[in-house]
Structure 1
Amino acid sequence: MINVNMSRWLSNALTIFSILFIFYMTILPHSELGIGVSKGFINLNPFLIFNQGLTYSSLVVNDFGNILLFVPFGFFLSIRFPQLKLSRVVLFGCLLSITIECIQLFMANRCTDIDDVILNTLGAFVGYLVWVGVRWQMNRE
Structure 2
Amino acid sequence: MLHFIYTQPLSRVIIAMAIAIAIWGYARTKLYGKRWNIANALLACGMVVVILSITIFGRTAGERILILKPFASLTVARTQSEAYRELLMNIFLFFPLGLTLSNALPQRWGRWRRIGITVVTGLLLSAGIEYIQYRFALGVAETDDVICNTLGTFIGSISLLIAHGIKKYKEKAIKHDSNKT
The residue identity in structure 1 corresponding to 2:98 is G
1:32 aligned partner: none
Task: Map 1:97-112; keep pairs closer than 5 Å.
Answer: 97-112=126-141
4+ residue runs over 4 A deviation: none
- Aligned with residue 144 of structure 2, among 103, 115, 127: 115
Distance 1:3 1:49 in 2: 41
- Superposed CA offset, 1:11-33 (max 9, x none): 2211101111111121113xxxx
- Cα distance change on mapping 1:41 and 1:118 into 2, 3 Å: same
Cα 1:37–1:133 shift into 2, 3 Å: farther
SS at match of 1:93: helix
Pick the aligned partner of 1:64 from 88, 104, 117.
88
Alignment of 1:121-136 (within 5 A): 121-136=150-165
From 33, 36, 52, the equivalent of 1:7 is 36
TM-score when scaled to structure 1?
0.81
Question: Who is 2:49 aligned against?
Answer: 20
Change over 3 Å in CA distance of 1:127–1:43 after alignment to 2 = same
Bigger Rg, structure 1 or 2: 2
List runs of 5+ in structure 2 lacking aligned partners.
1-29, 171-181
- Superposition RMSD in Å: 2.2
Greater helix fraction, Structure 1 or Structure 2: 2
**Structure 2 length as normaliser, TM-score?**
0.65
Note closer, same or farther for the CA distance 1:100–1:88 as it changes in structure 2 (3 Å cut).
Answer: same
Q: Which runs of 5+ in 1 are unaligned?
A: 30-35
Higher relative contact order by CA 8 Å / sep ≥ 6: 1 or 2? 1
